[in-house]
């Protein structure tokens, strides 16, 4: 485990001529032989471990499989897997992440002109299982691993699991543990370094005119700095619901009273008026509106509820639930401490159209501090004049349409 892989050396050497971009990326991975690996190879963090089954493959399949794992490392799938597990907790399904990441990488390797041990699960296979017919190159430009994972989770993942079982998909990706570096080895490169590695490798591939460099610039799964939507939502809600002191024009500030008393005793002019700042007496109220006509993955809905209720508890605010389609179907307060359990117990209506006007009118009547609307945003908004409180549109699409007012957040990743 401390020496460079003997098993992978012929394939990695062949990569220098077969695919300059993948060959350049492979230099930043750690390749090790490991007889305990159950399959041909597996990835954890920056480490690629090759098992005895790798020796049995012909060279052209070894090249494709080595490139498969190099892409897992370069795209940060192991680290992103660990981050998704941290975000979703017990709701995270590592099998679906494995399926999503392998399908994307396999489609990329095949599009780059390499072979893989058959049968290989591809992104096209998964999308066909979801009832969608999409060109492979178009799909690679549209889907990243997080979005594909949520799409599979939204449908339960049964079709994806059957497809993986039919193709005997190996479980060859492990979440990054942070302890992959052995004694005396350098610390694994961070994401900023990998951005530079990817840019240089793609440039080399484009100059060569074949392999990954020809298609790499179209990959939607290239790691890009993104702030998770939960963090953005948390900041927006905390800012909207935090009670800030407001000037009270009818009452003078204590500092102004003291300065005025001194001015009068000395016969000097009075200082400029300073109103007293006072906090509001009303409890902040967060309104959560769920569009019953849309669909969203259960883990995404649970994560949204956790963020909303967490903010409500921290600011000691009230939480109110609205479920709607063309009209309001459920209109009730929620206890933030028991909101998730109460939501699971509700009989949520499904189907129908969407009309946002009743929701906005009810939120105004409730004197909301902020309104979060979980919807695909397909429906009449109502009056064009925005309400005085912040409106956050939480949409399941990767690229939601621009709202007439408020802030749109994509929950697809």
pLDDT for residue 184 is more than 50: no
**pLDDT the model gives residue 178:** 55
76-85, 136-145, 335-344: the lowest-pLDDT one: 335-344
Token reading at 218: 């179209």
With 0-12 CB in 10 A as exposed, 13-18 as middle and 19+ as buried, what is 90?
Answer: exposed
pLDDT digits (tens, 9 = 90+) for 278-296: 665 567 888 888 887 666 6
What pLDDT sits at residue 3?
73
Give me the domains of the chain, ranges plus CATH numbers: 9-176+189-224 (no CATH), 246-278 (no CATH), 285-410 (3.40.50.410)
pTM: 0.73
Region 44-64: mean pLDDT is: 94
pLDDT digits (tens, 9 = 90+) for 196-226: 888 899 988 888 888 898 888 888 888 776 7
More confident residue, 307 or 94: 94
Instruction: Give the pLDDT score at 281.
Output: 53
Q: Is the peptide bond before 304 cis (omega within 30 degrees of 0)?
A: no
- And the tokens for 381? 């908004």
Residue 384 has pLDDT above 80, yes or no: no
Task: Please give the average per-residue pLDDT across 307-320, as a whole number.
Answer: 76
Edge-to-edge order in the sheet of strand 285-291: 328-334, 318-324, 285-291, 370-374, 391-395, 407-410
Q: What is the structure's pLDDT at 408?
A: 86
Q: What percent of the chain has pLDDT over 90?
A: 23
75 in Cβ contact with 221 (< 8 Å): yes
Q: Average pLDDT in the 361-387 region?
A: 81
């Amino acid at each position: 485990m401390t020496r460079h892989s003997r098993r992978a050396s012929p394939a990695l050497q062949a990569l220098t001529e077969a695919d300059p971009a993948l060959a350049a990326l492979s230099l930043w991975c750690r390749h090790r032989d490991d007889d305990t690996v159950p399959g041909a190879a597996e990835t954890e963090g920056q480490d690629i471990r090759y098992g005895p089954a790798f020796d049995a493959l012909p060279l052209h399949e070894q090249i494709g499989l080595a490139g498969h794992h190099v892409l897992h490392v370069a795209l940060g799938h192991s680290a992103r897997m660990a981050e998704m597990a941290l975000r979703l907790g017990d709701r995270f399904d590592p099998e679906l992440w494995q399926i999503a990441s392998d399908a994307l990488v396999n489609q990329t390797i095949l599009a780059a002109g390499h072979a893989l041990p058959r049968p290989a699960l591809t992104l096209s296979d998964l999308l066909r299982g979801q009832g969608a017919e999409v060109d492979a190159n178009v799909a690679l430009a549209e889907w990243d691993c997080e979005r594909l994972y949520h799409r599979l989770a939204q449908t339960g993942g049964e079709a994806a699991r059957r497809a993986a079982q039919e193709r005997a998909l190996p479980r060859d990706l492990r979440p990054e543990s942070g302890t992959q570096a052995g004694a005396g080895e350098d610390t694994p490169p961070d994401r900023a370094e990998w951005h530079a590695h990817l840019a240089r490798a793609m440039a080399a591939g484009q100059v060569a005119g074949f392999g990954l460099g020809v298609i790499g610039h179209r990959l939607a799964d290239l790691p890009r700095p993104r702030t998770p939507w939960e963090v953005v939502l948390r900041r927006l809600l905390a800012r909207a619901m935090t009670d800030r002191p407001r000037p009270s024009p009818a009452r003078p500030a204590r500092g102004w009273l003291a300065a005025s008393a001194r001015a009068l005793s000395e016969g000097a002019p009075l200082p400029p008026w300073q109103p007293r700042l006072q906090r509001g007496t009303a409890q902040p109220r967060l309104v959560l509106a769920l569009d019953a006509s849309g669909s969203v993955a259960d883990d995404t809905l649970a994560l949204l509820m956790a963020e909303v209720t967490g903010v409500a508890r921290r600011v000691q605010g009230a939480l109110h639930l609205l479920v709607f389609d063309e009209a309001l179907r459920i209109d009730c307060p929620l206890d933030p401490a028991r909101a998730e359990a109460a939501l699971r117990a509700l009989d949520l209506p499904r189907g129908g159209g969407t009309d946002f006007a009743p929701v906005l009118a009810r939120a105004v009547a409730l004197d909301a501090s902020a309104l979060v609307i979980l919807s695909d945003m397909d429906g009449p908004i109502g009056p064009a004049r925005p309400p005085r409180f912040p409106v956050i549109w939480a949409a399941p699409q990767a690229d939601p349409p621009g709202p007439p007012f408020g802030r749109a957040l994509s929950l697809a990743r």
